[in-house]
Chains A and B, each alone.
Chain A
Amino acid sequence: MKNNGNGKKVLNFLGNNSVPILFILICIVCIPVSGFSPSYLINEIVTRMGRNIFLILCLLIPIMAGMGLNFGMTLGAMAAELALILVSDWQIWGIPGVVLAMILSIPFSILLGALCGKILNMAKGREMITSYIISFFMNGVYQLIVLYMMGPIIPIKHTTVKLPRGYGIRNSVDLFHMRQCLDNLMAVRIGGVKVPVLTFLLIGLLCLFIIWFRKTKLGQDMRAVGQDMDVARDAGINVERTRIISIVMSTVLAGFGMVIYLQNMGNIATYSSHSQIGMFCIAALLVGGASVDKASIGNVFLGVILFHTMFIVAPKAGAIITGDSMIGEYFRVFVSYAVITIALIMYETKKRKARSRAGQQLQLAQQEEEAAANE
């Protein structure tokens, strides 16, 4: 009997953590095949952790509020890009440029986040697909602003930013004078690995903020809304307002995260930097073992390490195994989308199972009640 119980526990554990376990196996196979040295791998992973964790952490707040994976974080990324384009044109360099871009992104993010939150309140239960489509819609608005309004309406002075035709922004905006300024300030080298201490401090602060926020009144309200909207409403919580706040917070934090991401990259791909960011961040979070309704800071860290290890080693391992590096490229693209699909299917299956179990229990209770009444 005891063995049976233990076996169930192991099966449950495997079932609940199937995605991270699968990725650990992929990494265990691919790392030796790729032939990368440990110091190179660690250096790359640490760099990517600094680049991406802040962005991924912003997904935790909407999950807490029961709004699922916020594909609308792309809006925050767009806000950050708009801010960085302006800061780049105003020639504000270094850390002040990064800080100014973060501050400038706030009003754009609040505006876009509030709009997204309002729309999501009209589409309760379908938040993820709605936010995904909103990000496509806003991408069109973003392109209109960047391609046609920047220059004639929003003053852009420098030819390094502006298209030669006189209006619109170039495909790529150079952030040379801002490049890795956050990462290099206070950076330390440990055994050949560059650790961007300041970036990690910012990430640590955000983690502390999230832990603290969960305990606040608003955080508790969000959790209550996430568990059951009707019960939360009955308890006097303004459900719609709470949901909007969670999306606004997520969008603002995504804007900050995108500024950190782009200062690390050193340039903005004006029309494409934001387009896939939501997908990658969500994939990384899911790889860390999070689900649509439950995610933790630990999931973020584990996800970034596993997902990016796979990202680094897959092309090389694919090239060595098959002789074609494109196989590895396709593999990692396939895995990113597959992991999101699997997570969504697992979430839906679990939800249906729980609903069916609740239905069975209710039926049993009714039968017992009827039997008692008959007696």
Chain B
Amino acid sequence: MSKSRRLVIRICAVLVLVLIAACMMVIGRGHTVYFDNKTLEYDGNTYEAPYKITVIVKDENVAKLYVKERGQATNIGQNFTVSLRVMEEKNGDETTETYSFKLPYSMDGVVVNLPGLMAGLPEEAWISEFVSMIPEPATAEDEEVPSADEFEMDMGDEF
């Protein structure tokens, strides 16, 4: 095999791997989606939260949300489909609607306001980034770093 042909094959192999890696980064991006059943104020209008919303993701009931409650689900990739079984009033009839939307790649945690989603408002009205308000406490174990003369045998069950 000539040198130039070998080089071309190697470059192609690297490109294929880079391409696969790029695909994996897109299709494997994980998101935590938080659902809020909260009244939404947008553009001077008020969108009231219904009495109860059952959130169904991939045929699984992930949350049953009453007013001012929050539920969550995880999703791999940017395409997200959710079915909402809505009960407007207590003991009222339930209606089921399915919504599909794209999750922003840059957001790890996505907060979705369900009344806004159901009202068909633009995305910026009902999607926001989840920001944790609770600072994580630092434990002594977390701060521990391995010592330079570590020779202990670590042979637990895990192997």
Q: Which residues of A contact B (CB under 8 A)?
A: 52, 90-97, 99-100, 103-104, 106, 143, 147, 158-159, 163-165, 168, 170-171, 177, 265, 269, 271-272, 275-276, 280, 311, 315, 329, 332-333, 336
Contacts and interface: CB of A to CB of B under 8 A. Distances in A.
B142 A333 contact: no
B48 interface: no
Interface string B135-157: 01010011111100000011101
Contact of B30 (A91, A272, A315): A91
Contacts of B74: 93, 177
Give the residue among B24, B76, B145, B159 with the most A Cβ atoms within 10 A.
Answer: B159
Given A91-B29, A91-B30, A147-B145, A104 B155 contact: no
A276 B29 contact: no
Q: What secondary structure prevails in chain A residues at the interface with B? A: helix
A163 B142 contact: yes
B133 interface: no
Given A92-B28, A99-B24, 15 more contacts: A52-B159, A90-B29, A92-B24, A92-B25, A93-B28, A93-B76, A94-B30, A97-B30, A100-B24, A163-B142, A165-B138, A171-B141, A280-B159, A329-B155, A333-B153
Given A92-B30, A94-B76, A276-B153, A99 B142 contact: no
Interface size bucket, B side?
A: 20 to 34
A92 B158 CA distance: 24
Nearest to A100: B24
Nearest to A333: B155
B142 to A, nearest CB: 6
B27 interface: yes
25 contacts: A90-B25, A91-B29, A94-B76, A96-B76, A99-B20, A100-B24, A103-B20, A106-B17, A147-B145, A158-B108, A163-B142, A164-B142, A164-B143, A165-B138, A170-B142, A171-B141, A177-B74, A271-B145, A272-B146, A276-B154, A276-B155, A280-B155, A280-B159, A311-B159, A332-B155
Interface string B34-78: 000000000000000000000000000000000000000010100
Contacts of A97: 24, 28, 30
Contacts of A93: 28-30, 74, 76
Contacts of B7: none
Nearest to B154: A272
A265 to B, nearest CB: 6
A159 B143 CA distance: 13
A94 B145 CA distance: 29
Contacts of A163: 142-143
The 3 closest A-B pairs by CB, nearest first: A96-B28, A164-B138, A93-B30
A325 to B, nearest CB: 11
B21 interface: yes
A93 B75 CA distance: 9
B137 to A, nearest CB: 8
Contacts of B153: 276, 333
A99 B76 CA distance: 14
Contacts of B23: 96
A106 B21 CA distance: 12
A95 B30 CA distance: 11
Contact of A96 (B17, B27, B142, B158): B27
Interface string B100-137: 00000000100000000000000000000000000010
A103 B159 contact: no
A147 B136 CA distance: 20
Contacts of A275: 154
A171 B159 contact: no
A100 B21 contact: yes
Contacts of A52: 159
B143 A165 contact: yes
A103 B136 contact: no
A333 B157 CA distance: 11
Nearest to A106: B17
User: Residue among B24, B145, B155, B158 with the most chain A CB within 10 A?
Assistant: B24
A256 to B, nearest CB: 13
Contacts of A99: 20, 24, 28
Contacts of A94: 28, 30, 76
Contacts of A329: 155
A68 B153 CA distance: 24
Contacts of B155: 276, 280, 329, 332-333, 336
Nearest to A95: B28
Contacts of A276: 153-155, 159
A264 B24 CA distance: 20
